[in-house]
Structure 1
């Protein structure tokens, strides 16, 4: 495995559907619509991760492996093009890179909250009324709940730092980014949110 393949990968943008008769898929990033072929769209979907890994790491290697297993063609070129166009972002597994990523992107929630569960009061359901899609722990749910009012993921970390300080726990925002990336992966893989460019405030 090359160093490049060990990079974490995240999809960026809001999928807005397939267009006919052109038969291409459209993903909005910021104010721009990006077009994807069927194979490109497959790679973008795979980059979301898998619900089976939960908050685990999802790397370019995993994307290449799954894309190959799915029979997608031209994957290295597709990945390179999507990174260049902003549909995919890679993050080195170190704190500084994670902080830069968090400052560059924000999270937009999708679906609706369905409340916590009777069996596990500290777990929360998201989905549509009568149709749960995902069950999240408290930190992932808090990220989902407040993400729309945060201009960036980094802002979310700073808020968490202040909340924890109020509870007598001293943790720097930079030390919270790793946990936030795990929460983010879970939300993306389950289709409960999407990444977009950070708001400039």
Structure 2
């Protein structure tokens, strides 16, 4: 399982892109940025490489290795350690539950089509996950309010929010 880290801040020059991680700005080549964007589409390494291939990104595997080395993509081998080392930061605005399906919640900008429509557990993670100092702490909070802290459900929510670009992962400082 892999996840992209940081917030894309856009192009700096014609062939340089910026991704903010914590208080630092990492500069990526166009190809590296393309792979970083592809890493949002799935937590599965093979699927990410397939998305990169569909986008005609050459040497995607090498670029992915470099992003892993630099900490702009993280490979999750130990889910507990990962959850203790990263937190989720929301982007955009919560638009509330959908009138046609009250169990689904929208995220985006008022007056526009939602960027994401997610179930209540994922919306709660998006809405309140930033308050907890880590994803692990978010799970612990869920346990104190009577919900079973299911790390796999939280990670599925992280994946969904990242794929819609409505949240970012940030390392715990």
| TM-score, scaled to structure 2 | 0.94
- SS of match in other structure, 2:115: strand
Q: CA deviation at 1:20?
A: 2.2
- SS of match in other structure, 1:194: strand
Deviations 1:133-154 (A, max 9, x none): 1111100000011022111111
CA-atom RMSD in angstroms = 1.3
> Are 2:144 and 1:162 equivalent residues in the alignment?
yes
Question: Aligned partners of 2:110 and 2:96: how far apart in 1?
Answer: 11
> Are 2:125 and 1:143 equivalent residues in the alignment?
yes
- Which of the residues 40, 55, 59 maps onto 1:70? 55
Which residues of structure 2 form unaligned runs of 5+?
A: none
Runs of 4 or more consecutive aligned structure 1 residues displaced over 6 Å after TM superposition? none
Residue of structure 1 in register with 2:65 after alignment? 80
Question: Aligned partners of 1:181 and 1:38: how far apart in 2?
Answer: 28
Moved more, 144-153 or 61-70: 61-70
Q: CA deviation at 1:159?
A: 0.6
- Relative to its length, the structure with more strand (as a share) is 2
Q: How does 1:24-173 map to 2 (within 5 A)?
A: 24-49=16-41, 58-92=43-77, 97-131=78-112, 132-164=114-146, 171=148, 173=149
Give the number of aligned pairs: 172
Question: Aligned partners of 1:70 and 1:16: how far apart in 2?
Answer: 21
Deviations 1:103-142 (A, max 9, x none): 0000000010111111111211110011121111100000
Which residues of structure 1 form unaligned runs of 5+?
A: 1-7, 51-57, 166-170
- Relative to its length, the structure with more helix (as a share) is 1
- SS of match in other structure, 2:95: strand
Q: CA deviation at 1:69?
A: 2.3
| TM-score, scaled to structure 1 | 0.82
